[in-house]
Every structure is written in structure tokens, then in C-alpha cells.
């Protein structure tokens, strides 16, 4: 069995090497647990705050033909023009 994130307990100790994983901490309890594991020297954490621009994150995600792209741009322009009107 290959060592991995999910079933690490199936790996033999001699097969373990320093590995890097990325997780999303979704609760305060999870962070508390991770801090405890770091204090017990089971893991080492490298804290990094996600700081990716939305334009970078979503660039190229919308796959449109040229006609669809032009239609979408016209729709956006129309929407923006409506927003600028004094109603």
C-alpha cells in the first residue's frame, strides 16, 4: 500500500518520509488539534494565508466560443449601463 494522506496508518514506519500536504482548516477545533499535534512534535505546520486574487483564481475558467464571449460581453455592458442610470 502506498503511503498517503487518508490511510497513513497502513504504512510501515520505515516507509514514512517527510511529506507535505495542504489542508483547509474549517473549524476552531481542527486548528486546536493541529496545534496540539505540533506541540507533541508529530507535525510541523507552515502557516500561510491564502492570498490569491480572484482574477487569478478564475482566469480562463469560463470556456466560451467567440460568439458566446461577445454575447456575454454585450450582456455585461448592458447590465453596467442599466446600473449607472438614475432611476
Q: What region does 70 belong to: left with phi over 0, alpha with psi -120 to 50, or beta? A: alpha
Nearest to 13 by CA among 22, 3, 25, 5: 3
Query: Within 13 Å, how many C-alpha atoms sit on residue 84's CB side?
Result: 6
Helix (H) or strand (E) holding 52: none
The distance of Cα 33 from the centroid of its chain, to the nearest Å, equals 21
pLDDT at 73: 92
pLDDT at 81: 85
pLDDT at 2: 42
| Residues of the chain where predicted confidence (pLDDT) is lower than 50 | 1-8
Nearest to 47 by CA among 25, 29, 30, 26: 25
pTM of the model: 0.40
Amino acid at each position: 500500500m502506498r503511503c498517503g494522506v487518508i490511510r497513513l496508518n497502513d504504512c510501515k514506519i520505515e516507509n514514512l518520509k517527510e511529506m507535505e500536504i495542504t489542508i483547509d482548516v474549517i473549524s476552531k477545533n481542527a486548528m486546536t488539534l493541529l496545534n496540539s499535534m505540533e506541540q507533541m512534535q508529530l507535525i510541523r505546520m507552515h502557516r500561510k494565508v491564502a492570498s490569491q486574487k480572484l482574477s487569478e483564481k478564475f482566469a480562463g475558467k469560463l470556456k466560451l466560443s467567440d460568439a458566446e464571449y461577445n454575447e456575454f460581453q454585450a450582456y455585461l455592458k448592458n447590465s453596467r449601463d442599466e446600473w449607472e442610470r438614475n432611476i
